[in-house]
Every structure is written in C-alpha cells, then in structure tokens.
Homo-oligomer: A and B are copies of this chain.
C-alpha cells in the first residue's frame, strides 16, 4: 500500500444491547479517530445482533470489500458471546483453545485469586490461524485473522487492544482536515459552497449546522490528502463567510 492509496476499513459493532437502545456506543468514534490518525479511513459501520448467521454473512461481505475490518463485542465468557465461533465459521476454519491464551488467563486468575472456570476458559478459544491481540487490562485477548481484528466491546478494553495493534496496521494516505465555523445559516452559504465543491472535487466539503440554545451556526469541515489544496479551500470558505458579514473561527466549537 503506497502513500497515495487510500486504505479503507469497516467497523462491526456486535451486540443486541446497542440495537435495543440500552447501551450507547462509544467505540465507533474512538476507532474512527484512532484509525484516521494512522491513515486508515472508516468507510462503513454496522451494528448487528448476537446472531451467528448474521455475523458470518456480514463479516464475509465486508472483509471482501474493505482493507480492514474491526469488530467489537461478543468475546466474553457467557453463552451470548459467540463472536469468536462466528468468525471461525466465516473463515471456514476450526476453533480451539490457544495454548498461550490459556496460560495468560490461567496465570491471571491464579494471581488475582479468581476461579479459572470453564466459562472463563472459553475466552482462550481462538480460530485456527488467528494471532492474539494483547489485552493488558483484563488479559483475555482479542485476535486477528486475515484482515479482521476482533476486539472486546467494553470501551476501556477495546482501547488497550487497539493500542496494542500499533505497528501491525499499515495506513495509506493520511486524510487531513480543516474546520471553519461561523454563526451563519447553512442555507445562506449553500450555493457558493456548492460552487466551491464543484471546483475542488478532491476535497470533501461537509456542512454541519448546529444549534446551541439560541445560537446557531454552521461548521464547514474539509477533508483531503493534499494539505496545500485544503488550505486554499479553507481560505476561500473563510473569505466567503466574511462576504456575508460574519467572522469565521478556525477550530470546532461544536465538538
């Protein structure tokens, strides 16, 4: 993957609790921001339930379409943790206790005084050919198989797993961004903004209105690989806003 090629990813959030509205996902934003920094663009995300055939079909569809797939959820010790089995099935391989993972977990429970139950031992089962993703926090590992990275759903654990992937992921062209914000309705600048987009097809220009009490405005977010062109476009957006009598801010008051 060269520096000018875009490297793409899909995130699969696996878990009934997100679809029922019980849990609000925070993993997607964290993963997207982390990957963006190393030159990997998340192009799609899906939230799917803990149903084996759904996980298998979805995984096989997206792992063929994107450079990387990252999953969260379903790798704990209980009966509803079926992600590892589903991933093995999707790859058409077996699943078994991974000696290194068994030792890691055994040592961990011996040290902390917890019982190494048969249920907990399930967390040491990895698909054939998978390599572990280290989990310094609670030891039970994630794993990588092919271009698929299987991580925990608990945000703290997911985050240390993502950190431990440093060096294993190969990014492409890094996407740069600029934000120009002003207290102006997006309907006012929409036409000129559309013209600007037409003149700079390589820069993605997004328009995001915000409301904060009685204050409203619009953030224009520009994204591109080429920072020189990005600065030119950001300058034009700022100039356009001044033309409407408002002073823009660089940065992002809505985030």
Contact = CB atoms under 8 A, between A and B. Distances in A.
Contacts of A19: 32, 41-45
State which size class the interface on A falls in: 35 or more
A206 B117 contact: no
Interface stretch (A22-30, A88-96, A125-133): A22-30
Interface string A200-230: 0000111111110000000001010000000
Given A114-B187, A194-B79, A208 B44 contact: no
A154 B207 CA distance: 12
A190 B28 contact: no
B191 A16 contact: no
Nearest to A218: B78
B44 A46 contact: yes
Nearest to A140: B187
Contacts of A33: 20-21
A206 B120 contact: no
Nearest to A155: B211
Interface in A4-54: 16-26, 28-34, 36, 41-50, 54
B45 A156 contact: no
A120 B190 contact: yes
B18 A28 contact: yes
A47 B43 CA distance: 9
Nearest to A79: B194
Given A17-B208, A76-B186, A118 B24 contact: no
Given A76-B209, A80-B205, A117-B190, 18 more contacts: A18-B28, A19-B32, A20-B221, A21-B32, A21-B34, A23-B208, A23-B255, A25-B28, A44-B47, A46-B46, A76-B187, A78-B189, A78-B190, A79-B194, A79-B205, A114-B185, A154-B210, A154-B211
Q: 5 closest Cβ contacts across the A-B interface? A: A119-B190, A21-B32, A21-B33, A79-B194, A120-B187
29 contacts: A16-B204, A16-B206, A16-B223, A17-B206, A20-B177, A20-B221, A20-B223, A21-B31, A21-B33, A21-B36, A21-B42, A22-B221, A22-B252, A44-B49, A44-B54, A46-B47, A76-B187, A76-B209, A78-B186, A78-B193, A79-B190, A79-B193, A80-B197, A80-B206, A117-B187, A117-B188, A119-B190, A122-B190, A154-B209
